[in-house]
Amino acid sequence: MRILVAGGAGYIGSCTTEYLLDHGHQVTVFDALINGHRAAVDQRAAFIHGNLNDDDALDRAFQQARPEGIIHFAAFIEVGESMRQPGKYFSNNIAAGIHLLEAAVRHQVRKIVFSSTAAVYGLPERNPIPDDAPVAPINPYGESKLAFERILHWYHAIHGLQYAALRYFNAAGATALHGEDHHPESHLIPLVIQAAMGVRPSVSIFGEDYDTPDGTCIRDYVHVNDLAQAHLLALESDESRAFNLGSGHGHSVKAVIEAVKAVTNRQFNVISAPRRPGDPARLVSDSTDARNILGWKPAFDDIHIMVESAWKWRQHHPDGYPN
């Protein structure tokens, strides 16, 4: 299949591009390199430097790639920043994405897979969280993703554009070639690994008084390679709807820190800090539909395997990507 990957220079986009190529597909990456890395784009993929707001650049990309399907990763993802600059998130994550959908309609592409998020659920009423749980985002980032899901529904209804909105929980781990390198970094596992490497002086635990077994927040981590598998399965499916993607296992902040210590065999400073506003005590996925309908079979759902893959990638890329 010929696949256009928008945002393929980012973390999950680069790992998914690698997976698609390994499975015999032809990939063109379209990325503005605002937060992505040119060095993260697999050398086997075609690369087009362009912005989703540029209709001419999109038309050229579609003409060159002749895609049969689209995977859309391009977005801003920092929750805290979205609370300070909501317009930035609505403009990029919604309005720019509409340009991509219009290009798909113009060039008669019939399938798109959208990188959504568990943040659409806000503060969930129950855990594990099923696909049909109430959606009520508590930040502009989650709101922007939910809005685009709703837009996809209407492009499906009006233009026949088939879509899957994949609601990730916490992406983690790395492949042999590609890993996580955000600037600034805000995700727990890479932050803890940086502390283990001595890159940062300590790692903070935000709240130790939650109603969980060890008092710290519990999250569902899913290996990035398993996410990549789900994207390909979603492209091959005729379903048009949202799917949760998570391991179904919850791991506390303290458990993740202990996993990093076990994998790296290193000690580092851990600091207790106040709770962050809006942090739910527990977020765990019910991904039954993705498994039953898409045939998704996560292969790396052990937290130590996720940490080990991330650690190995960082050992080979101590400074992240060169650019």
List the beta strands (DSSP E) in the chain. Answer: 2-6, 26-31, 46-49, 69-72, 111-117, 162-168, 170-172, 202-206, 218-223, 241-245, 250-252, 269-273, 282-283
Phi, psi at 314, each rounded to 5°: -70, -30
Range of the domain at 19: 2-172+223-245
Q: Is residue 229 part of a domain?
A: yes
Instruction: Note the pLDDT of residue 280.
Output: 87
The CA distances from residue 71 to 17, 53, 110, 217, 311, in Å, are 10, 17, 12, 31, 27
Give how far Cα 162 sits from Cα of 147, 152, 238, Å.
Answer: 17, 8, 7
**How far, in Å, CA of 171 to CA of 120, rounded?**
16
Query: ∠ CA(82), CA(307), CA(262), 5° rounding?
Result: 130
The answer to whether residues 11 and 179 touch, using CB atoms and an 8 Å cutoff, is yes
Residues of the chain with pLDDT under 70: none
- Specify whether 141 is catalytic: yes
Terminal alpha carbon distance of the chain? 30
- Which is catalytic among the residues 141, 155, 168, 221? 141
Question: What is the pLDDT at residue 184?
Answer: 86
How far is it, in rounded angstroms, from Cα 185 to Cα 192?
11
Burial (0-12, 13-18, 19+ Cβ within 10 Å), 269: exposed
Phi, psi values for residue 151, rounded to 5°: -65, -40
- Is the pTM for the entire model greater than 0.95? yes
Query: Is residue 305 a part of any domain in this protein?
Result: no
Work out how many domains the chain is built from and give that number: 1
pLDDT (0 to 100) of residue 198: 95
43 belongs to a structural domain:
yes
CATH number, domain containing residue 28: 3.40.50.720
**pLDDT value at position 277?**
81
pLDDT at site 320? 94
| Predicted local distance difference test score (pLDDT) of residue 131 | 96
In a domain, 87, yes or no: yes
State residue 278's pLDDT score.
Answer: 77
Instruction: Give the H/E segment covering residue 215.
Output: none
Q: Evaluate whether residue 77 is within a structural domain.
A: yes
Give the Cα separation of 155 and 65 in Å (integer): 22
Q: What is the pLDDT at residue 113?
A: 98
